[in-house]
Amino acid sequence: MGTMTFGSEWGWGADYEESKRIFDAYANAGGNFIDTANRYTEGSSEWFVGDFTTNDRDHFVIATKYTLQDRSGDPNFAGNHRKNLKRSVSESLKRLQTDHIDLLWLHAWDFTVAPEEVLRALEDLVRLGDIHHIGVSDTPAWIVSQANTIAELRGWSSFVGLQIEYNLLQRTPERDLMPMAKAFNMAVTPWAPLAGGALTGKYLHENEEAKRLKPESARLNERAQLITREVVAIAQELNVSPSQVAINWTRQRDQVVVPIVGARKVGQIEDCVKCVNFVLSDEHMQRLNNLSSIELGFPHDFLASDGVKNVVYSGQYDKIKDLKH
Of the residues 40, 66, 166, 203, only one is catalytic, namely: 40
- The answer to whether the CB of 184 falls within 8 A of the CB of 136 is no
In the sheet that holds 61-66, the strands lie side by side as 33-35, 61-66, 101-106, 131-137, 159-163, 187-188
The DSSP output letter for 138 is S
Active site residue 317: no
One-letter amino acid for residue 98 of the chain: T
Residue 82 β-bridge partners: none
Q: Alpha carbon of 194 to those of 201, 258, 280: distances in Å?
A: 10, 13, 16
Which is nearest to 292 in space by CA: 225, 208, 207? 225
Output the CA torsion 163→167→172→175 (10° steps): 70
Angle between helices 222-238 and 242-251 (to 10 degrees): 100
What is the C-alpha R_g of the chain? Answer: 21
Angle between helices 222-238 and 282-292 (to 10 degrees): 170
Catalytic residues: 40
